[in-house]
Chain A
Amino acid sequence: MKTKHEGKQRSVSVAQDPKLLRRLLRAKDRMDAASHEAWPVKRLAQVSGVSQAHFARSFKSAFGVPPHRYLLTRRLERAKALLRDTDTPVTEIAFQTGWNSLGTFGRTFRDVLGASPSELRAQERAVPHDLERAPACFVNAAQRPDLMIAVSEKRRQDPSPMNGAEATEVP
């Protein structure tokens, strides 16, 4: 496959060099493997072997969401699974999944998923699950929050916005 300079956007469509995409996928994989860790753009760009200036735009173009929003959905997905499958206290789950503040965790969780962590735990336990036959990772991925807009935007659209400090999307 003969390709042009990696990262260079073609004029007609959003076609990206498969080799660049494969390296961006590596950054996505690394966030998947350790979503509780801090992933500043510098670190992600290094994994992908691209400049920091190009990374966020290339990632969004490839995967449809900015890298930090992607990370946020992974953290929420993991928190949701822990709420459902374990008896770990909510505070503990917040810190295990990478939040530095319980308040930010609770607010973001509620803004994106429409229920507080403890409400969601109660809901999940009230309905029987028939997903044991599918590998856990695929089941979790299927239940990942589909966050196509920024959390702040989602919050603005909410008719009953929460009070309090604006949660930042960058963990």
Chain B
Amino acid sequence: MSQGVGVVGLYVRDQDEAVEFYVEKLEFRVHTDVRNGDYRWLTVQHPEQPSFQLGLFRPQAPTLDAATAQTVQEIVAKGAMPPLVLVVNDCRAAYERLSARGVEFTQEPVDRYGAVDASFRDPSGNGWKMIEARPDAR
């Protein structure tokens, strides 16, 4: 792939905590982790999706002023950021594996219209829907 979406970023309250969550618990890999003073560009990647990076960014100066950064942190912690969807082959198996590792599920796997889905949140409050790929869509 040469064109398309390369990075989409999430705001997280703590990048160490976020990388621990996305890598140790969710099985992503670190793609880029570089620092410039207080600023840290951190992206992770799903092992089966090499053309896409998920950025784990902290709302901070100089990108945002302190008051805006605080507001963004509040919005994230209230779960008000837009939905994220993680597609898996087997939602129930993934639920068992991830909840055993301490992932905070907000909805257990439910069968809806022939597809199974569950929900979890990252430590910051970002909400993920985990949806089982429909056999015909794989």
Residues of A within 8 A of B (CB): 1, 15-16, 18-19, 21-22, 24-26, 28-30, 32-33, 62-63, 132, 135-138
Contacts and interface: CB of A to CB of B under 8 A. Distances in A.
A21 B85 contact: no
A62 B125 CA distance: 13
Contacts of A18: 13, 70, 73-74, 76-77
Nearest to A19: B77
B119 interface: yes
Interface in B12-69: 13
Contacts of A32: 106-107
Q: Which 5 A-B pairs have the closest CB atoms?
A: A21-B77, A18-B77, A29-B106, A18-B73, A22-B77
B70, B71, B83, B124 — most chain A CB neighbours (10 Å): B70
B71, B77, B129 — most chain A CB neighbours (10 Å): B77
B73 A1 contact: yes
Contacts of B85: 135
